[in-house]
């Protein structure tokens, strides 16, 4: 019998966030999820104008939020 942690009631209940800049990275991390909480993280709230994609679920015994940026942005380095 597999035991998962309870689904978090609010976003502050997550202790682990994984942030990916590339879709291929997010796909690799998502493949490690043992269980998904479903709704794309919508029940935990999203700031107005936030373009990021959220996946919520369980990896091992941990509730995890995966954040995937919709496109990679280049940052100019100032010298």
SS3 35: strand
| Pairing mode, strands 62-68 and 35-36 | unpaired
- How many Å apart are CA 14 and CA 54, to the nearest integer? 13
Is residue 64 over pLDDT 90?
yes
Domain residue ranges in the chain: 14-68
pLDDT at 29: 97
Task: Classify residue 55 as exposed, middle or buried by CB count within 10 Å of its CB (0-12, 13-18, 19+).
Answer: buried
Which residue has 């502050």 as its token pair? Answer: 12
pLDDT at 40: 58
Is residue 6 over pLDDT 70?
yes
What is the model's pTM? 0.81
- How many Å apart are CA 79 and CA 69, to the nearest integer? 26
């Amino acid at each position: 019998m597999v035991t998962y942690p309870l689904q978090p009631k609010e976003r502050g209940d997550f202790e682990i966030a994984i942030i990916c800049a590339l879709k291929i990275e997010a796909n690799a991390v998502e493949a490690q999820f043992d269980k998904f909480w479903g709704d794309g993280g919508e029940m935990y709230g999203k700031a107005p104008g936030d373009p990021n994609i959220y996946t919520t679920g369980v990896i091992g015994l941990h509730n995890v939020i995966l954040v995937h940026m919709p496109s990679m942005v280049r940052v100019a380095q100032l010298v």
